Amino acid sequence: MKKYNFNAGPSILPQETVENTIQAIRDFSGTGLSLMEVSHRSKEFQAVMDETVALFKEILNIPEGYSVLFLGGGASLQFCMVPYNLLEKKAAYLNTGTWANKALKEAKLFGEAVEVASSKEANYTYIPKDYTIPADADYFHITTNNTIFGTEIHKDIDSPVPLIADMSSDIFSRPVDISKYGLIYGGAQKNLAPAGVTFVIVKDELLGKVSRAIPTMLDYRTHIKDGSMFNTPPVVPIYAALQTLKWLKALGGVSEMYRRNKEKAALLYAEIDRNKLFKGTTAVEDRSLMNICFVMNDEYQHLNDEFYKFATEKRMVGIKGHRSVGGFRASTYNALPKEAVEALIETMQEFEKSH
């Protein structure tokens, strides 16, 4: 029976991605071998890598002078790779949630890392607006979408220093002016592929400026030089990413995704605001298009478990909020169809009528 997958990550993928990857796991590109057992040095997989990089650049309109890498270690490894490669004297961080805070913690191991602003005092329910980016910083780091708290930076920031962004959960969900960024990274398990591959988009001219020695595997230049094949790359997730990129391009790219995502989010936020049982948890202007967080209104808190059970019976999967904040969270990534949001809204309305 059909289920509606609102998991925050690993999360829903396009059905074409799932089916095409299954087929390749059975027989990859007519080789008679499974995708899971082919050499990453084979011409067949090299073609996959080349096409994935090319589509990444095409769909995001990445300018010349940037490299696209596919690495291991998740976004969490990037928390240390970024300062390892880029922090010489000082780095600046915007603290908008759990992952931003973890990135800042890692940067402090490599030098001075300053928090230019934070919304921690309000449990990260908004994006700080009035802050000054230090002009003497080596870079300014932001987390564009905060999966746990449901806030999102909706516009590309103008920064006087190289702008670094963790876009794990909103890459490909909206148009982005890549030229405003020095480096963008993210885990693939939200809008791109199964867990196991991390994407990095890096402006080549930023590299090689720090005085410290960088371990070979943690040096971006290593992976640029060897085309993400210095060591064995995560073959299956990269193949799956290629299928998602093909799906995305065929539907009209990021502009079409943005239109769909705004439509889905508007429907669900409108219901949260209308329904007497629920309320949103974040500042309206900072509401995420990807992770929609809400809780029971104060007088209905006792219905939390009952609603979760009811929604589960209605085939909703993954709507429980992160354990650190509670409540509910509907992750509405690119591959989530509008009908899933409509089904959740019907479930909320039906539950309201019975209470």
> Choosing from 138, 166, 170, 286, which is the catalytic residue?
166
Alpha-carbon separation of residue 86 from 20, 72, 323 (angstroms): 38, 19, 33
Closest CA to 336 of 203, 177, 134, 169: 169
- 190 classed as catalytic: yes
> Choosing from 190, 246, 264, 320, which is the catalytic residue?
190
- 247 classed as catalytic: no
Query: What six digits make up the tokens of 76?
Result: 């969490």
Beta bridge partners, 186, equal 199
- 180 classed as catalytic: no
Instruction: Supply angle C-alpha 156, 162, 163, rounded to 5.
Output: 35
- Residues designated catalytic: 99, 166, 190
